[in-house]
Amino acid sequence: MSKPKVGIKGFGRIGRLVLGAAARSPTPSMLFAVHDPSIDIGYMVYMFTYDSTHGRFQREKFELMETPSSFPRRERAPTRLPSSTANFEISMVIISAPSADAPMFVMGVNENLY
C-alpha cells in the first residue's frame, strides 16, 4: 500500500502540529500542500520553523509553491485533504473541529468504529 499524500487547509496550531509530526516521522516522504489564504507564505515558514511551544523545527529542505497552478496535479496531488476547492480526487477528509454532519472519532473512546 502506498503512503497517502496529504494536504493541510489551515496553518494554525493543529495544521502546524500535523505537518511537524509527519515531517518528524521515520519516513517523512509524504507530500504536504499547505493552504491558508489568511497567512503570508513567509510568515507560515517562520511560524513553523520557530514554534514557541514545540521548539524549533530542524529540517534541511522546504519546497515552496505559492500558487495552485504550479502544483503538479495528477502525479503528486493529495489524496487526503481537510477541504478543497481544487479538482483533486480526494479519498478522505479529516477535520479537527466538531461537525454537525460528519462522524466524530475520539482516540481512546470510539476510534475502533472508523
According to CATH, what is the number of the domain 6-113?
A: 3.40.50.720
Amino acid 63 reads E
Strands (E), 36-112: 50-51, 55-56
Q: pTM higher than 0.85, yes or no? A: no
With contact defined as beta carbons under 8 Å apart, do 73 and 65 qualify? no
Q: Is the pLDDT of residue 80 over 90?
A: no
Spatial distance between the Cα atoms of 97 and 14, rounded to a whole number of angstroms: 10
Region of 38 (left: φ > 0; alpha: ψ -120 to 50; beta: rest) is: alpha
Residue ranges of the domains in the chain?
Answer: 6-113
Q: Categorize the per-residue pLDDT at 109 as very low, low, confident or very high, splitting at 50, 70 and 90.
A: very high
- Average pLDDT for residues 24-40, to the nearest whole number? 74
The per-residue b/e assignment along 64-93, b for 16 or more CB within 10 angstroms, e otherwise, is eeeeeeeeeeeeebbbbbbeeeeebebeee
